[in-house]
Amino acid sequence: MTQGRLAGRFIAVTGAAQGIGQAIAADFRSEGADLFLLDIDGDALAQAVSDLSASPGGRIYHAAADIADPARVAEVFADAAAQAGRSLDGLVNNAGVNVFHAPLDTSAAEWQRAFAINLEGAWSCARAVLPGMIAARTGSIVNIASTHALTIIPGTFPYPVVKHALLGLTKSLALEYAGQGVRVNAIAPGYVATQKVLDWWHSQPDPAAARAATLALHPQGRIAEVGEIARAATFMISDECRFMTASCLTIDGGLSQRQHG
């Protein structure tokens, strides 16, 4: 049941064409928000916008953009604000890319790709919305981190490095602008039932065994649904947690607290 908790808000969501981003966009819209949706895949984004528009809700603006391109990010955010006639007062930095290697097997290009999208892209989007939030003395940014920001799994380099850095960005911006009414927080999901996870299972020699092994890592015996992350994002970006900033909410079914699998 929705309650219009985001009525009157104008919120950007990156990586909104599928998975967690699309679920967050749907939840925000059901709670009354106007949306600005970004994704690098223009066709998939157009389909997501069409799907979202099939149900009642706020206005949707969208743009295909590679968040690793700071000039393009600045351009599309300015265009969205001009179209809407108002500044954005919310942002979810969800877009990201998995880059998993052994450290010495990581090429310079893969290292740069991981940081350009997962960290620098998040900063470019935050930099685009912060001036309006500061001027209005209100705003909320939620960065989608990962349990990789809290723990280290060998063979996943440099992903945990960049996700730890994203938490550093979260805390730094939160403390820098707390006095101006801007809150910055993070969500650290564990395994989530996205297409990427399903594709990974199916890429293994025994998909059923791979799925069972993943589920066995979790004390609850399952992984998260995208809607569970979306509901948390709605709470964190809303005024219901207006005294929360520089915090990270972990949603992993206890995975990151389990010492032995």
Q: Which residues have a catalytic role annotated?
A: 159
CA 105, CA 86: separation in Å to the nearest integer? 46
Phi and psi (nearest 5°) for 45?
-65, -45
Helix, strand, coil shares of the chain, percent, nearest 5, are: 50, 15, 30
CA 74, CA 128: separation in Å to the nearest integer? 6
If you count them, how many residues does the chain have? 261
What token pair was written down for 146?
């990962």
- Distance from the Cα of residue 189 to its chain's centroid: 10
Does the bond joining 103 to the residue before it have cis omega, within 30 degrees of 0? no
- 238: DSSP letter: S
Classified as helix, coil or strand, 154 is coil
